[in-house]
Structure 1
Amino acid sequence: MKLYHAMDEYLMYVEVEKNCSPHTIQAYTFDLRCFESFLKKYGRSCELSDVTSSTVRRFIQDQVLNQKMKPRSVQRRISCLKSFTSFCIKERYLSVDFMAGIVAPKTDKKLPKYMKLAELQQFLRYLENDRHPFALRNEALFKLLATSGMRRSEIVELTWGQIDLNEKTVLIYGKRFFIYNYYLSILVFLFRLVISQH
């Protein structure tokens, strides 16, 4: 079977059966076309059964050294090819997984960027002096974010049922169902003001 026939079948599978987003399908299409272009450029067979682990390693080497791809992009290409070969084996287009033993390069973990204390104080002063209709809400949310260690997603999903103004606590359902109870004496006043304005 020709590689491009198997690729077309795979892309239809991820679109129809796996219901992947258009963005994901576009990325998979691009990654597979890059692999096919590599094979053609270097005169390698485009028969699916002729592709080997060695061919894939040469492809990865080409992406890193010649195309100057970042490790995260290479990881995505490898992930796409692994998914593709799994599909081909499941559909019996392939008998040998040419992605077996292929390991993605490690990526440098990006360190989070933090505000310096002076920057945070300046930002909070700005919020305290803001006269926008949502200024008080914004002040409460950003102070909660800055003083509690809550994640952005936890703040976004916060409900009034999680805030106990009498006990001055906020109940947070964290990752893996951990429950955190933050004591927030400073913010209770702000939350009361927000409530009174709405």
Structure 2
Amino acid sequence: MQVVFMFLDRFIQYIKFEKRYSPHTVSAYQSDLDQFMRFIHEPDEPIAHPSEITHHQIRNWMVELMNEGLTSTSINRKVATLRKYFKFLLQEGEITVNPTSKIVVPKIPKHLPVVVEDARLTQMLNNDGIFTEDFKGTRDKLIIEMLFGTGMRLSELLGIKHTDINIYEGTVKVLGKRNKERIIPMNQELRNLLLKYNELKKNENFGNNSLTLIVTDKGANAYPKLIYLTVHKYLSHISTQNKKSPHVLRHTFATSLLNAGADLNAIKELLGHANLSATQIYTHNSVERLKTIYKLAHPKA
């Protein structure tokens, strides 16, 4: 089993340093692989090499995950991790057959993206009584404004440095999935907020730790849970829905653009999607909105 974990370590180093996956993604991959290895580990018959792993073991693991109540989305993600791992071993010449090639993943039911009303969100951001004027309050507001104003992912926000922002041109450079860079425009309110935040941040004397844009109250680099809790806290002011995550603001960004008549290809580029099919899900929200308007306004609806 020790040899098997050696290969796991090699794979983690590969995605971390060669593929340059985000720390959050690397952690998720490692967690999935550790969980799978613990499941197939038999003290009486330990696996000495990854080539001994079979598709039957993977299927048994999937059944176990289903019995534990995991969603199809979560199971698919874990299987995708295994696919990536065994593809790496195949490329390295450590195995000759990929056991995931015979795996059929469960279908994922399609759900419409969860959004909040952009008008209520804008009203909250313009409410002087919601955010304090000190560093913490300004930072919290910047987190909401950045996610809603650019549509970037949580992991992308955590990676933004001051050098990625051009205040005068009104753009921010984002490093997205597959290390693909994209430039996103920023509105004037967001630019003004950034100037205010930068000034308050300098006054905090955080030193070298302040090279990253979003930092904690003590100047350390922000972490995913801080962003999540911040978004959840402020969305609770305007929404009663269960989901109040940073991704809700990304969905709201895309849906707002589409409702305002933005081109779907332009939204795809702003979101950093690899293909248009990932962006087309937002059209369903727009269709539902049109149906509602039709029912309310048309005399024969």
Which structure 2 residues correspond to residues 127-142 of structure 1 after superposition, within 5 A?
Answer: none
Cα distance between partner residues in 2 of 1:9 and 1:101: 25
Q: Give 1:3's aligned residue.
A: 4
Q: Which of 242, 249, 262 is 1:172 aligned to?
A: 262
Maintained 8 Å contact 2:86/2:98: yes
Q: 1:20 to 1:100 in 2, by over 3 A?
A: same
Does structure 1 residue 25 correspond to structure 2 residue 126?
no
Q: CA deviation at 1:87?
A: 0.2
Q: CA deviation at 1:174?
A: 2.3
Cα distance between partner residues in 2 of 1:59 and 1:41: 14
Cα distance between partner residues in 1 of 2:115 and 2:30: 37
Q: 1:24 to 1:131 in 2, by over 3 A?
A: closer
Q: Give 1:34's aligned residue.
A: 35
Aligned residue pairs total 144
Amino acid at match of 1:62: E
Does structure 1 residue 64 correspond to structure 2 residue 91?
no
Partner secondary structure for residue 59 of structure 1? helix
Q: Give 1:187's aligned residue.
A: none
Maintained 8 Å contact 1:6/1:93: no
Partner secondary structure for residue 100 of structure 1? helix
Amino acid at match of 2:63: Q
Q: 1:64 to 1:43 in 2, by over 3 A?
A: farther
Cα distance between partner residues in 2 of 1:51 and 1:171: 51
Cα distance between partner residues in 1 of 2:255 and 2:69: 37
Identity level (%): 23
Q: Which of 53, 74, 82 is 2:55 aligned to?
A: 53
Cα distance between partner residues in 1 of 2:58 and 2:44: 14
Moved over 6 A (4+): none
Q: CA deviation at 1:5?
A: 1.5
Maintained 8 Å contact 2:118/2:256: no
Q: 1:43 to 1:75 in 2, by over 3 A?
A: farther
Cα distance between partner residues in 1 of 2:114 and 2:118: 13
Q: Give 2:253's aligned residue.
A: 152
Return the TM-score normalized by structure 2: 0.40
Partner deviation per Cα, 1:15-70 (whole Å, 9 max, x = no partner): 010000000000000000001100125865423111111111111111111x2212
Q: Give 1:12's aligned residue.
A: 13
Amino acid at match of 2:70: M
Q: 1:6 to 1:114 in 2, by over 3 A?
A: closer
Q: 1:172 to 1:113 in 2, by over 3 A?
A: closer
Partner deviation per Cα, 1:63-91 (whole Å, 9 max, x = no partner): 111x2212111111100000000000000
Amino acid at match of 2:86: T
Partner deviation per Cα, 1:134-163 (whole Å, 9 max, x = no partner): xxx99xxxxxxxxxxxx724867xxxxxxx
Q: CA deviation at 1:111?
A: 2.8
Q: Greater Rg, structure 1 or structure 2?
A: 1
Which stretch of the first structure deviates more once superposed, 103-112 or 9-18? 103-112
Q: 1:7 to 1:114 in 2, by over 3 A?
A: closer
Return the TM-score normalized by structure 1: 0.59
